[in-house]
Amino acid sequence: MTDPSKTAAPADPAQPTRVQVAGSAGTASYEVFIGRQLLGELPALIGSGVKRVAVLHPEALSATGEALRADLAEQGFEAIAIQLPNAEESKTAEVAAYCWKALGQTGFTRSDVIVGVGGGATTDLAGFVAATWLRGVRWIAVPTTVLGMVDAAVGGKTGINTAEGKNLVGAFHPPSGVLCDLAALDSLPANDYVSGLAEVIKAGFIADPVILELIEADPAGARSPRGPHTAELLERSIRVKADVVSSDLKESGLREILNYGHTLAHAIEKNERYNWRHGAAVSVGMVFAAELGRLAGRLDDATADRHRAILDSVGLPLSYRGDQWPRLLETMRVDKKSRGDLLRFIVLDGLGKPTVLEGPDPAVLLAAYGEVAK
327-348 pLDDT, tens digit each: 999 999 876 555 556 899 999 9
pLDDT confidence of residue 245? 83
Res 189 pLDDT > 80 = yes
On whether 263 is known to bind a ligand per the annotation, the reply is: no
Could you give the angle at the alpha carbon of 358 between the alpha carbons of 352 and 360, nearest 5°? Answer: 105
On whether 145 is known to bind a ligand per the annotation, the reply is: yes
What is the per-residue pLDDT across 15-44, written as a single tens digit (0 to 9) for each?
Answer: 889 998 887 666 788 999 999 988 888 999
Res 13 pLDDT > 80 = no
Q: How far apart are CA 305 and CA 308, in angstroms?
A: 6
**Residues paired with residue 7 on neighbouring β-strands, in sequence order:** none
What is the per-residue pLDDT across 157-188, written as a single tens digit (0 to 9) for each?
Answer: 899 988 887 788 999 899 999 999 999 999 99
| Region 135-160 average pLDDT | 91
pLDDT above 90: percentage of residues in the chain:
76
What is the per-residue pLDDT across 346-361, written as a single tens digit (0 to 9) for each?
Answer: 999 999 999 999 999 9
pLDDT confidence of residue 162? 87
Parts of the chain belonging to CATH 3.40.50.1970:
17-185
- pLDDT category of residue 219 using cuts at 50, 70 and 90: very high
Res 5 pLDDT > 50 = no
**Alpha carbon separation from 14 to 53, 63, 188 (Å, rounded):** 29, 27, 22
**pTM for the full predicted model:** 0.87
On whether 124 is known to bind a ligand per the annotation, the reply is: yes
On whether 157 is known to bind a ligand per the annotation, the reply is: yes
Q: How far apart are CA 345 and CA 355, in angstroms?
A: 8
| Range 17-185 has CATH code 3.40.50.1970 | yes
Q: Is pLDDT larger for residue 151 or for residue 51? A: 51
**Alpha carbon separation from 366 to 1, 241, 371 (Å, rounded):** 33, 31, 9
For the annotated catalytic residues, the residue numbers are 135, 157, 199, 241, 251, 255, 259, 262, 266, 278
Q: What is the mean pLDDT of the chain?
A: 90
Taking alpha carbons only, the member of 231, 214, 243 closest to residue 310 is 214
Tally: H helices and E strands in the chain = 14, 11
> 52 phi and psi, to 5 degrees?
-115, 140
On whether 121 is known to bind a ligand per the annotation, the reply is: yes
On whether 122 is known to bind a ligand per the annotation, the reply is: yes
**CATH no. for 190-371:** 1.20.1090.10
Compute how many other C-beta atoms are within 10 angstroms of the C-beta atom of residue 223: 18
Indicate the DSSP class of residue 113: E
Q: Where does the chain show beta strands of DSSP type E?
A: 17-21, 30-35, 52-58, 78-84, 113-118, 138-143, 157-162, 165-172, 177-181, 344-348, 354-358
**Alpha carbon separation from 240 to 64, 246, 280, 352 (Å, rounded):** 29, 10, 21, 11
Q: How far apart are CA 233 and CA 105, in angstroms?
A: 42
Parts of the chain belonging to CATH 1.20.1090.10:
190-371
CB of 177 closer than 8 Å to CB of 30: yes
Residues in the chain: 374
pLDDT confidence of residue 339? 57
Most confidently predicted of 74-78, 243-247, 258-262, 284-288: 284-288
Q: How far apart are CA 331 and CA 271, in angstroms?
A: 9
CA–centroid distance for 326 within its chain: 27
Q: Collapsing DSSP states into helix, strand and coil, what is residue 187?
A: helix
Indicate the DSSP class of residue 372: T
Note the helical H segments in 272-324. 278-295, 301-313
